[in-house]
Amino acid sequence: MEKPLNILQVVPYFYPSWTCGGTPRVVYELSRRLAAMGHNITKYTTDVYDAAARVTEDMVGSTESSPQHFTADIEGMRVVYFRNISPSLAFKGRIFMGGDLPDFLKQEQDHFDLAHLHEFRTLMNIPFIKANIPFALSAHGGFTYIMGKKTLKKAYDIFAGNRLLDAASALVAVSPLEAAQYREYGIPPEKIFLSANGISPDDFKDLPEKGEFRRRYGLEDKRIVMFLGRMNPIKGPDLLIEAFGRAAYPDAALVMVGPEDGALEHSKKLAEKLGIVDRVIFTGMVSPVERLSALVDADLMVLPSRHEIFGLSLLESLMCGTPVIVSKNVGIAPVLEEAGAAVIVDCDDIDDLSYNIAEYLSRSEKRRKMVKAGRNLIAEKYNWEKITDDLVELYRTISGKRKEQTE
């Protein structure tokens, strides 16, 4: 039996900061499975919770505290929460200040076999450029300049990003789209490791009772078209609202599930302008149980993103029995299309998106076939057990590089 690894995972936001998007969820699922396999997991993160609040010591049951950080045990993982200067600066400006992380890392780095850095352009990563620890880097869709702040991103790359890429032992891509972005930037192909995000089918064996979400929002007699994700312009909530307004299906409701992230006010005004404000519901952030309840009751889940490196919510939707319509700009879209597990659209073609919403609301047999194909695909390619096993092999290869350097 191979020796357990001492793994450091570094991510700007972590449990219970679910408003920060898919990255903390992915890292949480990966890390707790690594811990369950017997590996020793330490997490460096920050105390950002949302734009106005911090993760508090009471929230996570802190076991150790200092003015610049506190520590907790989360499902067998040691998690160090470094205190940010400002939650707003961290959440809105994406400036995560790791408190005394540099000194902390110097004291602890020899304890770890390797590190895995999650997100690319964060100040938390900079100490690893010269640290005595080999590391993998996952950009989680944040590698390109597509999503704004181009000047700041370029400045970061000049100051630290390019050196960080050189120092990394491996770049982990969650989809072929992200792997292509790495190659276009000049990353050698042999340095790129493809490892998709995943889900555990066991998490979907005990789903909420069908109809609970409908009753909560008074939608018992409505077909439900659902958007699930942060209300951010890059995810295209405005495109879906416009397409829904054109769809010839008057007894349907559009439910927008997810926290505000820059697009909520515009989305509400657009629904009012189109005269469909009485058919559009904005739930805001929901609990994990209510998230599943919404997916169980939806007739369609639509992800019209202008750019999305993976699309984990699509897999969750299929596991809940809800078919999906997805933009071709989503990283997982080609794989879903090949498997017959999704309808693929051009997010800029509002008429086509609108047509497919109406078409698939009325085609129950097509929806059933799509869901069946999706579940088969998930069992084959996107279950966490397989993904974690493959990553452990990468980790062992990376940890060997430290031995080579010290011999």
Is the Cβ–Cβ distance between 87 and 48 less than 8 Å? Answer: yes
302 falls in which pLDDT band (50, 70, 90)?
A: very high
Specify whether 220 is located in the same domain as 108: no
Residue 76's Cβ-count burial label (10 Å; 0-12, 13-18, 19+) is middle
Whether residues 352 and 389 fall in one domain: no
pLDDT for the residue 390 = 92
Q: In percent, how much of the chain has pLDDT > 90? A: 71
| Residues 42 and 176 grouped into a single domain | yes
Once rounded to an integer, what is the mean pLDDT over residues 302-321?
94
Q: Residues 134, 135, 137, CA angle at the centre, nearest 5°?
A: 160
**Pick from 393, 405, 287, 325: nearest CA to 16:** 287
- The yes-or-no verdict on residue 299 having pLDDT over 90 is yes
Could you tell me if 192 and 208 lie in one domain? no
Q: What percent of the chain has pLDDT over 70?
A: 96
What values do phi and psi take at 393, rounded to 5?
-65, -40
Coil, strand or helix at 81? strand
C-alpha 120/C-alpha 138 separation (Å) is 7
- Residue 96's domain comprises 6-198+383-406
DSSP 21-46: -HHHHHHHHHHHHHHHTT-EEEEEEE
Confidence band for 320, pLDDT divided at 50, 70 and 90: very high
Domain identity same for 389 and 377:
no
The answer to whether 368 and 355 have CB atoms below 8 angstroms apart is no
Q: What is the pLDDT of residue 1?
A: 64
> Token pair for residue 295?
């997916």
Q: Does 219 reside within a domain?
A: yes
Establish if 210 belongs to a structural domain.
yes
Does residue 175 belong to any structural domain of this protein?
A: yes
**Does residue 130 lie in a domain region?**
yes
1 assigned to some structural domain = no
At residue 199, the pLDDT reads 87
Confidence grade of residue 201 (pLDDT, cut at 50, 70, 90): confident
Sheet of 170-173: strand order equals 62-65, 69-74, 77-82, 40-46, 6-10, 114-118, 135-138, 170-173, 192-194
Query: According to the model, what pLDDT value does residue 279 have?
Result: 95
* In contact, 332 and 310? CB cutoff 8 Å: yes
Per-chain mean pLDDT for the chain: 91
Q: Residue 93 — very low, low, confident or very high, per pLDDT cuts 50/70/90?
A: low
Once rounded to an integer, what is the mean pLDDT over residues 348-352?
94
Look at residue 179 in the predicted model and tell me its pLDDT: 93
Check residue 394 and give its pLDDT. 96
Q: For residue 88, which of 140, 47, 31, 57 has the smallest C-alpha distance?
A: 47
One domain, residues 311 and 163: no
Specify whether 272 is located in the same domain as 394.
Answer: no
Its pTM stands at: 0.84
Query: For residue 326, is it within any domain?
Result: yes
- On the question of pLDDT at 347 being above 80, the answer is yes
Residue 66 lies in a domain: yes
DSSP assignment string, 327-349? ETTBTTHHHHHHHT--EEE-TT-
d(CA 407, CA 402) in angstroms, rounded, equals: 9
Span 190-209, average pLDDT: 90
Do 261 and 355 reside in the same domain of the chain? yes
Instruction: Give the count of beta carbons closer than 10 Å to the beta carbon of residue 58.
Output: 7
Same domain, 272 and 144: no
306 and 214 in a common domain = yes
In this predicted structure, the answer to whether residue 325 has a pLDDT above a threshold of 60 is: yes
DSSP 157: I
Instruction: Look at residue 400 in the predicted model and tell me its pLDDT.
Output: 86
List, edge to edge, every strand of the sheet that includes 300-303. 280-284, 252-257, 223-228, 300-303, 324-327, 343-345
In whole angstroms, give the CA distance from residue 134 to residue 290.
40
pLDDT tens-digit readout, 38-82: 999 999 999 988 878 899 999 999 989 999 999 999 999 999 999
Report whether pLDDT(147) > 70: no
- State mean pLDDT over 281-301: 95
Q: Please check whether residues 208 and 340 belong to one and the same domain.
A: yes
Assigned token pair, 213: 């979400």
Residue 297, domain member (yes or no): yes
The CATH number of whichever domain residue 187 belongs to comes to 3.40.50.2000
Model confidence at 216, in pLDDT bands (50, 70, 90)?
A: very high
160 and 230 share a domain?
no
Tally of domains within the chain: 2
Note the pLDDT of residue 148.
61
The pLDDT, as a whole number, for residue 2 is 86
